[in-house]
Amino acid sequence: MSEFPALVGELAARLSKIDGVLGVALGGSHATRTATPSSDIDLSLAYGGEATVNGSVGFDLSALRELCCELDDSGSAEPAPIGGWGPWVDGGAWLTVQGQRVDFIYRDLRRVKKSVLDAQAGLTTLYTQPGHPHGIHAHHYAAELASCVILHDPSGQLAALQRQMSRYPPALAKALQSHYGWQKGFWLDCAEKGLRRGDMHYVQGCLYSSVMSLVQEICAVSGVWLLNEKGALARAAAQAAAPCDLEARVHAALPTADVAALRVLNEEICLPAHF
């Protein structure tokens, strides 16, 4: 724990005492060792979806509410109900603790287990979710689990699931490459049609979708988990399969809707021999 802010261990210890919380894990940039001084601390609370001792479903939300009010510098942090932030983010709370931004996020362990199975089966189902312009895949929780640092797991359930994700599932890599490999060019075709109509709003959406398809393909063939859209381009650019100077070239092409430049990037992706 010495490589993380001391606050991480303190918060995990407090969260672990809430009735119904089965595990606590550190996610986000701190878990992937890419944090900056301004990065939030992201802590997930695993629960089992069962009724707790006091009858609440999932975990003791009232106890979490009291803890948030105690910890938050303003004393006004209010945790959302389970499912309150949408079908995939589930719920949580935003706090500032000792001047540090902290996010608590709920994770139903039953759905995490299902996500692991989906990843192993190579399912590419994509769901809409507020705050995620690209959407969230069925394997999203599995990706989080593979990348997180488990802080509290007395039953060992999180650790057992994480071991299953120690290797990027080959079926998922092939499925994502197949799903997105053709889309990166298709979206550019759509963008060109939009340009001829002068429909820039549509064009911008197409260009974003094309770049995200390229990012998904690069990460999949590289066996690299993609957690969400934040920093996704930089993550893909760091892989050996990525075209040279990917991030800078995308940043140069998007403002001017330079479809030709994006087509060149698509052609320069280096696919491993087994693909």
Tens of each residue's pLDDT in the chain, 275 residues: 558 888 999 999 999 999 999 999 999 888 888 888 888 999 999 998 654 544 455 899 999 999 999 999 999 999 999 989 988 888 999 999 999 999 999 999 999 999 999 999 999 999 998 889 999 999 999 999 999 999 999 999 999 999 999 999 999 999 999 999 999 999 999 999 999 999 999 999 999 999 999 999 999 999 999 988 989 999 999 999 999 999 999 999 999 999 999 999 999 998 776 55
Taking the CA of residue 206 as centre, how many other CA atoms within 13 Å lie in the half-sphere pointing to its CB? 21
Find, among 137, 124, 263, 127, the residue nearest to 207 by Cα.
263
Q: In what order do the strands lie in the sheet with 149-152?
A: 92-97, 100-108, 41-47, 21-27, 149-152
The DSSP result for 172-230, as a single string, is HHHHHHHHHHTHHHHHHHHHHHHHHHT-HHHHHHHHHHHHHHHHHHHHHHHT-----ST
Report the chain's terminal Cα–Cα distance, integer Å. 39
DSSP bridge pairs for 25: 44, 150
Give the E-state strand segments of the chain in sequence order.
Answer: 21-27, 41-47, 92-97, 100-108, 126-129, 132-137, 149-152
At 49 the pLDDT is 60
Q: Identify whether the C-beta of residue 191 lies closer than 8 Å to the C-beta of residue 203.
A: yes
DSSP bridge pairs for 108: 47
